[in-house]
Amino acid sequence: MVDLPRRSLLAGMAALSASACAKINQSESAKTLFDAAEDGHRTLHRALAGKQGLAPEYTRAERSPTFRGNGSVTVEDPFYKAQLAGGFPDWRLEVRGLVEKPLALTLDEVKALPQRTQITRHDCVEGWSAIGEWQGPQLAALLDAAKVKESAKFIVFRCADVLYGRDYYESIDMVDAYHPQTIIAHSLNGEPLPEKNGAPLRMRIERQLGYKQAKYVKAIEAVASFADIGDGKGGFWEDTAGYQWYAGI
Amino acid sequence: MKTRKQHALSTRLWHWVNAVSIIVLFMTGLNISNAHRYLYWGDYGFDPRDAWLSVIKFPAWSTIPQYYNLAIARDWHITMAWPFGLGLAFIWIAMLVNGHFRRDLTTTPRDWTPSAVIASLKAHGPGAAAHGYNPVQKILYGMVFGVLMPLMLFTGLAISPGFQAVAPWLLEVLGGRQSARSLHFIAAWAIFGFFVIHLLLALADWRLILGMITGGKRVESETEAPQPAPATEPVLEGEPSHG
């Protein structure tokens, strides 16, 4: 049986909810709800996998034939360009902030640290995946060498690339900072990192999405809070596009 | 004879929470799909030339929000995943405990025969409330509860990079992350297909919708047979329960 009033009621409800949604998206209570959902996922992941639970690693045969570059694929800075051409002889990786012993390492010094090699999958927030073999020291080794203070709650990565006029940066908490698969990679598939993939150094944080994997890393900074960095949301994409800070989903 | 609600309170609560969750998940999912409109099989995939399917760009009216915004779509998607996932666990427990599953959704080999299916379709769904669901309804609801919704949940978990450390075996079972993503997409459209049929049949008789709110009434004998009555002989009195 046809029941027109009911159908127009349904259509009206649909239209109402569509415009209501637009308002809800920007509201404080929606923000609170989204944050709770995000925190819930992070808590669930860590409760079930453990803080040190590993992301799957693959064999060489399972690697993708190439590794896509995305986001910044080049750096315009003249110093960077000169360094890239010459093999980064004067590039320094700083470890600073809430540390007792700030460091400034050359690329050779980074390569001389104990290394971890891992073949892992990179998942972009957009949906695609690539698999590559990364090599570099664990972030934990650098943080221990610099003697991170107790007051440090987050690790911020400062990058050489500029997107939409803003310096790229990212941040993670101490759980991911001390995760065994969190490394500062200097090579991809046995070769020095290509520019599009973040030469000379990029982060691998294997249980999170691609935008957390900061490229062109200049400095690793231990902080108590990232509220005063950028727009205070903990990363370039978090600030500019509203992406979730916990990118494990 | 005793009277009993046609739909248990647990079923009704879950139904409406799940309806909202699924609508939001589907429409935000279309927005997310627009971010990279190519589907692959296996672990990796980023080159459209390797895609098994190039998905259309879903128009703004079909997405939440009503313009392309990956961040807001993902916020809604991962938020509504909670009521969907927890709700699915809840309704399964409720259905097993209150007998809804055994009474209304379990099928016998006879329900899968062509004649049973044809009889269900000829009877246009009814099969009268007092005699439970007809074979087609049982099979469709069983597929949605037993296959499609769990598949949505598990493929969704599998494509989360944080969850892969929880259950690496899940990715292996599903054939890799890009396969899981493809299956997530396929299952979403299968559920959409069910949703359309479900909605059309429900709109054909508004008492069904009312029944899902108030619980409705149905009369049943005190000595209810353990086997649901065959629906090949639809009883036409009482409230129809299709949709």
**For residues A41 and A38, what is the distance between their CA atoms, to the nearest angstrom?**
5
Q: Give per-residue pLDDT as tens, A201-234.
A: 999 999 999 999 999 999 999 999 999 999 999 9
- Return the residue of A nearest to B209 by Cα: A6
- Residue A221 backbone zone (phi > 0: left; psi -120 to 50: alpha; other: beta): beta
The CATH number of A55-241 is which of 3.20.10.10, 3.20.20.70, 3.90.420.10, 3.20.20.80? 3.90.420.10
**For residues A183 and A118, what is the distance between their CA atoms, to the nearest angstrom?**
9
* DSSP calls for B39-51: E-SSS-B--GGG-
CB contact (8 A) between residue A130 and residue B82:
no
**pLDDT at B197 (0 to 100):** 92
- Return the residue of A nearest to B204 by Cα: A1
The helix/strand/coil state of A89 is coil
Tell me which of B27, B46, B80 to substitute to probe the interface with A (most A C-beta atoms closer than 10 Å). B46
The CATH number of B2-220 is which of 1.20.950.20, 1.20.1250.20, 2.80.10.50, 3.40.50.300? 1.20.950.20
CB contact (8 A) between residue B166 and residue A125:
no
ipTM associated with this complex: 0.88
Chain B residues close to A53, C-beta within 8 Å: 165-166
CB contact (8 A) between residue A53 and residue B171:
no
**Measured between CB atoms, does B16 come within 8 Å of chain A?**
no
Chain B residues close to A38, C-beta within 8 Å: 75, 78
Q: Which residues contact B27 (CB under 8 A, 6 or more apart)?
A: B62, B63, B64
**For residues B177 and B189, what is the distance between their CA atoms, to the nearest angstrom?**
19
**For residues A202 and A222, what is the distance between their CA atoms, to the nearest angstrom?**
17
**Measured between CB atoms, does B153 come within 8 Å of chain A?**
no
Tell me which of B79, B153, B199 to substitute to probe the interface with A (most A C-beta atoms closer than 10 Å). B79
- Return the residue of A nearest to B82 by Cα: A37
Query: What is the mean predicted confidence (pLDDT) over A74-87?
Result: 95
**pLDDT at B29 (0 to 100):** 98
Tokens 């919708």 found at: B209
The pair of structure tokens assigned to B239 is: 């409230």
Residue B241: which of B122, B137, B101 has the closest Cα? Answer: B137
> Which of A38, A131, A208 lies closest to B161 in CB terms?
A208
**pLDDT at B104 (0 to 100):** 85
Find the helix or strand (DSSP H, E) in which B117 lies: helix B114-122
> Which of B46, B74, B165 lies closest to A130 in CB terms?
B46
β pairing state of A187-188 and A103-105? unpaired
Q: Which residues contact A71 (CB under 8 A, 6 or more apart)?
A: A161, A163, A168, A210, A211, A215
Neighbouring-strand partners of residue A217: A159
**For residues A204 and B24, what is the distance between their CA atoms, to the nearest angstrom?**
33
Q: What is the mean pLDDT of chain A?
A: 92
> Which of B46, B74, B162 lies closest to A68 in CB terms?
B46
B1 CA to chain A: closest CA distance, Å?
Answer: 31
- Return the residue of A nearest to B168 by Cα: A56
**pLDDT at B121 (0 to 100):** 81
> Which of A66, A128, A241 lies closest to B71 in CB terms?
A241
**pLDDT at A17 (0 to 100):** 57
User: What is chain B's pLDDT, residue by residue, as a tens digit (243 residues)?
Assistant: 455 678 899 999 999 999 999 999 999 999 999 999 999 999 999 999 999 999 999 999 999 999 999 999 999 999 999 999 999 999 999 999 998 888 888 888 888 888 888 888 877 644 444 456 888 888 999 999 999 999 999 999 999 999 999 999 999 999 999 999 999 999 999 999 999 999 998 888 888 888 899 988 764 544 444 444 444 444 444 444 444
Tell me which of A25, A173, A196 to substitute to probe the interface with B (most B C-beta atoms closer than 10 Å). A25
**For residues A181 and A122, what is the distance between their CA atoms, to the nearest angstrom?**
13
- Residue A54 backbone zone (phi > 0: left; psi -120 to 50: alpha; other: beta): beta
Amino acid code (one letter) for A112: A
Q: Give ∠ CA A139-A141-A146 in degrees, rounded to 5.
A: 95
- End-to-end CA, chain A: 45
Domain residue spans of chain A: 1-50, 55-241
**For residues B54 and B51, what is the distance between their CA atoms, to the nearest angstrom?**
7
**For residues A172 and A182, what is the distance between their CA atoms, to the nearest angstrom?**
10
Find the helix or strand (DSSP H, E) in which A79 lies: helix A78-86
CB contact (8 A) between residue A129 and residue B203:
no
* DSSP calls for B189-236: HHHHHHHHHHHHHHHT-HHHHHHHHH---EEE-SS--SSPPPTTS---
**pLDDT at A20 (0 to 100):** 60
Chain B residues close to A249, C-beta within 8 Å: 74, 78, 160-163
| Tally of residues, chain A | 249
